């Protein structure tokens, strides 16, 4: 669900066009939620970054890794794996209070239906997935650094690119089922309409699934995930229960726009390139003696360099965030236009955007600086204004 137009964004002065589509109470509610949760969400990011930098740029991280490895004999492999686990566990511990506070705020606004037990179980699942992914990757990485302390980053960059591509393909099959249950949409008019919409758009999908999102949230959503044989349309049960069939089709039409524009493939390729470049940057940074000295590590082959690598990766990610958000907003705007072109139903598109914004308690016109730094989608009022400015091709 997304928007913008060929005419560019609305001016930043005064309420954006489309603001009148929301009542003062709806606008105030979304703004209040944003103000209540943003300090905790942003604070969690900053705390995680501060932790990474504090451990990576001082001997504290090296001490943590050494102590963790000592619990398992102190060998090189034990230190690498135990140190990685310790860093992930500590990062999770720091992030947990902030995530809990955001969840509490969202529960107060009726967006969270999941109990604290389910929330804790999801946090543990996320940690387990992180460990399952990180431990083999770091093990291979340090095998490369041991073999070639100066040139390890060359094969590691290629491996990072391949891993990113593989995860994009496997994500809907391996990761999504960990957090949601999926069931085939029962045969009927809605399923046939969505399959017909995809066929009309020239997009082949394997199935139409329903995600049991209602056990966790009241938010509305749908998406198309996977590549090739794993591609499927997924609709939240909350969306199917509250939106009319035409609005559901518009949400899916937007998602099909991503497929038509090859956004998943392009995103995978860009992600692979970004992962490779990030590894190259790590190779450059961990080869600098002042940084190694600050971190209490001897070389890139020293397990004590782990916190420095994590700090550099966190900093690279933070600096790249606004640019990634800017690209995402343009991609979402293009998918909105595709939905309009595929359905030709401007008024229902506007009604759907309004429903999504109200149901998700969105700040429909957030401060521009927050939108530029953190928003992956244009604001609701910009999307509606873009829809009104859209004209069908002659």
CATH number of the domain that 236 lies in? 3.30.2010.10
Beta carbons within 8 Å of 159's beta carbon, 6+ residues apart: 140
Q: How many residues in the chain?
A: 394
Indicate whether 174 belongs to any domain.
Answer: yes
On the question of pLDDT at 9 being above 70, the answer is: no
The pLDDT value recorded for residue 20 is 80
- Answer whether residue 259 shows pLDDT above 60: yes
| pLDDT tens per residue across span 128-175 | 999 999 999 999 999 999 999 889 999 999 999 999 988 887 777 777
Average pLDDT over residues 205-223: 89
Write down which residue in 207, 227, 259 finishes a domain.
259
CB 335 within 8 A of CB 264: no
pLDDT cut 70: percent of the chain above it? 95
Beta strands, E only, the chain: 182-184, 208-211, 222-225, 232-236
Q: Which are the contacts of 183, defined by CB distance < 8 A and separation ≥ 6?
A: 209, 210, 212
CA distances from residue 67 to 2, 70, 137, 154, 263 in whole angstroms, order as listed: 48, 5, 21, 30, 44
Residues 157 and 186 in one domain: no
Answer with the one of 259, 279, 296 that is the final residue of a domain: 259
On whether both 96 and 54 belong to a single domain, the answer is yes
Is 204 a member of any domain? yes
Please give the tally of structural domains in the chain.
2
What DSSP string runs through 256-310? HHHHHTTHHHHHHHHHHHHHHHHHHHHHHHTT-HHHHHHHT-SSTTSGGGHHHHH
Q: How many helices (H) and strands (E) does the chain have?
A: 15, 4
- pLDDT at residue 11 in the model: 40
Q: Are residues 246 and 349 both part of a single domain?
A: no
| Predicted TM-score (pTM) of this structure | 0.84
Pairing of strands 182-184, 222-225: unpaired
C-alpha count within 13 angstroms, C-beta hemisphere, residue 127 = 19
Look up the domain containing 152 and give its range.
19-180+260-389
Residues 178-198 have a mean pLDDT of 90
Which of 259, 275, 292 marks a domain boundary? 259
- CA within 13 Å, CB half, 104: 8
From the list 239, 182, 242, 180, the residue with the least C-alpha distance to 206 is: 182
């Amino acid at each position: 669900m997304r928007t913008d137009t060929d005419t560019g964004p609305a001016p930043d002065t005064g309420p954006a066009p489309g603001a009148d589509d929301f009542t003062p109470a709806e606008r105030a509610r979304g703004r209040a939620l944003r103000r209540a949760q943003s300090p905790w969400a942003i604070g969690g990011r900053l705390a995680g970054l501060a932790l990474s930098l504090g451990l990576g740029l001082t001997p504290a991280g090296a001490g943590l890794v050494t102590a963790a490895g000592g619990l398992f004999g102190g060998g090189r492999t034990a230190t690498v794996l135990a140190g990685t686990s310790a860093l992930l566990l500590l990062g999770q511990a720091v992030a947990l209070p902030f995530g809990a506070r955001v969840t509490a705020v969202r529960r107060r606004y009726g967006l969270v239906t999941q109990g604290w037990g389910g929330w804790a179980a999801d946090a543990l699942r996320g940690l387990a997935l992180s460990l399952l992914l990180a431990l083999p990757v770091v093990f291979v990485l340090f095998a490369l650094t041991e073999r070639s302390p100066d040139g390890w980053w060359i094969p590691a960059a290629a491996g990072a690119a391949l891993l990113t591509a593989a995860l994009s393909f496997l994500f809907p099959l391996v990761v999504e089922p960990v957090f949601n249950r999926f069931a085939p949409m029962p045969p009927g008019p809605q399923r046939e309409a969505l399959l017909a919409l995809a066929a009309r758009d020239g997009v082949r999908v394997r199935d139409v699934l329903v995600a049991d999102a209602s056990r966790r949230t009241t938010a509305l959503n749908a998406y198309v995930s996977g590549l090739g044989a794993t591609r499927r349309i997924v609709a939240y049960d909350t969306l199917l229960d509250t939106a009319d069939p035409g609005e559901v089709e518009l949400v899916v039409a937007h998602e099909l726009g991503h497929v038509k524009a090859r956004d998943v493939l392009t995103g995978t390729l860009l992600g692979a390139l970004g992962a490779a470049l990030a590894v190259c940057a790590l190779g450059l940074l961990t080869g600098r003696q002042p940084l190694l000295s600050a971190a209490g590590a001897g070389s890139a082959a020293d397990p004590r360099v782990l916190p420095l690598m994590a700090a550099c990766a966190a900093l690279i990610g933070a600096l790249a965030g606004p640019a990634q958000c800017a690209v995402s907003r343009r991609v979402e705007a293009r998918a909105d236009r595709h939905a309009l072109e595929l359905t030709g139903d401007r008024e229902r598109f506007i009604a759907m955007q309004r429903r999504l914004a109200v149901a998700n308690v969105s700040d429909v016109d957030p401060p521009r600086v927050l939108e530029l730094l953190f928003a992956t989608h244009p604001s609701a009022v910009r999307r509606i204004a873009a829809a009104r400015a859209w004209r069908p091709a002659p």
